[in-house]
Amino acid sequence: MIHPEHNRIPKTVKTIHLIAVCGTAMGALACMLKDKGFAITGSDTKVYPPMSRFLAEKGIDVMSGFDAAHLSYRPDLVVVGNAVSRDNAEVQATGQMGLAYCSMPQAVNRFAAAGKRQLLVAGTHGKTTTSSLLAWILFCAKRDPSFIIGGIVSNFSSNYRTGSGDCIVLEADEYDTAFFDKGPKFLHYSPDATVLTSIEFDHADIYRDLNHVRSAFEKFVAAMDSNSLLVHVDDDANVADIIGSAQCTCRSYGMLPDSNWRLEDMAIDPPATRFRVIRDGRDFGVFRTRMIGRHNLKNILAAIAVADRLDVPPKVIAEALEHFAGVKRRQEIRGEKRGIIVIDDFAHHPTAVRETLGAVREHFSKSRLIAVFEPRTHSSMRKVFQQEYVSVFDPADRICIREPSQLGKVPEGERLSSRQLVEDLTKRGKDAAHFENTEGIIDDLAASSISGDVILIMSNGGFDNIHERLLEAL
Task: Give the count of beta carbons closer than 10 Å to the beta carbon of residue 62.
Answer: 18
Residue 344 near residue 455 (C-beta atoms within 8 A): no
Residue 274: inside a domain, yes or no? Answer: yes
Residue 302 near residue 232 (C-beta atoms within 8 A): no
Q: Are residues 363 and 309 in the same domain?
A: no
Residue 18 near residue 42 (C-beta atoms within 8 A): yes
pLDDT at 72: 96
Total domains present in the chain: 3
pLDDT at 190: 93
Most distant CA atoms of the chain, gap in Å: 64
Q: Are residues 306 and 179 in the same domain?
A: yes
Domain final residue, candidates 83, 109, 135: 109
Q: Are residues 220 and 262 in the same domain?
A: yes
Rounded Cα distance, 79 and 178, in Å: 10
- 23-77 pLDDT tens trace: 888 999 999 999 999 999 999 987 766 677 788 888 898 998 999 999 999 999 9
Rounded Cα distance, 147 and 260, in Å: 26
Q: Are residues 188 and 318 in the same domain?
A: yes
Q: Are residues 222 and 280 in the same domain?
A: yes
Q: What is the CATH number for 444? A: 3.90.190.20
Q: Are residues 19 and 60 in the same domain?
A: yes
Cα dihedral angle (206, 212, 218, 220), rounded to 10 degrees?
-10
Q: Are residues 27 and 117 in the same domain?
A: no
- 257-294 pLDDT tens trace: 999 999 999 998 778 899 999 999 999 999 999 988 88
Residue 70: inside a domain, yes or no? Answer: yes
Q: Are residues 153 and 141 in the same domain?
A: yes
Domain final residue, candidates 69, 90, 109: 109
Question: Which residue segment(s) compose the domain that 125 sits in?
Answer: 113-322
Task: Give the count of beta carbons closer than 10 Å to the beta carbon of residue 249.
Answer: 14
Q: Are residues 118 and 102 in the same domain?
A: no
- 425-442 pLDDT tens trace: 999 999 999 999 999 999
Residue 327: inside a domain, yes or no? Answer: no
Burial state string for 10-49 with b = 16 or more CB within 10 A and e = fewer than 16: eeebeebbbbbbbbbbbbbbbbbbbeeebebbbbbeebee
Domain final residue, candidates 92, 109, 126: 109
Give the single-character DSSP code of 130. Answer: H
pLDDT at 119: 98
- 243-256 pLDDT tens trace: 988 999 999 999 99
- pLDDT band for position 193 (50/70/90)? very high
Q: Are residues 101 and 127 in the same domain?
A: no
pLDDT at 49: 64
- 375-422 pLDDT tens trace: 887 778 788 888 989 999 999 999 999 998 888 788 888 888 899 999
Q: Are residues 161 and 247 in the same domain?
A: yes
Residue 262: inside a domain, yes or no? Answer: yes
pLDDT at 312: 98
pLDDT at 205: 81
Q: Are residues 282 and 165 in the same domain?
A: yes
Q: What is the CATH number for 258? A: 3.40.1190.10
Sheet with 62-64: strands ordered across: 62-64, 39-44, 15-19, 77-80, 101-103
Mean pLDDT on 158-170: 95
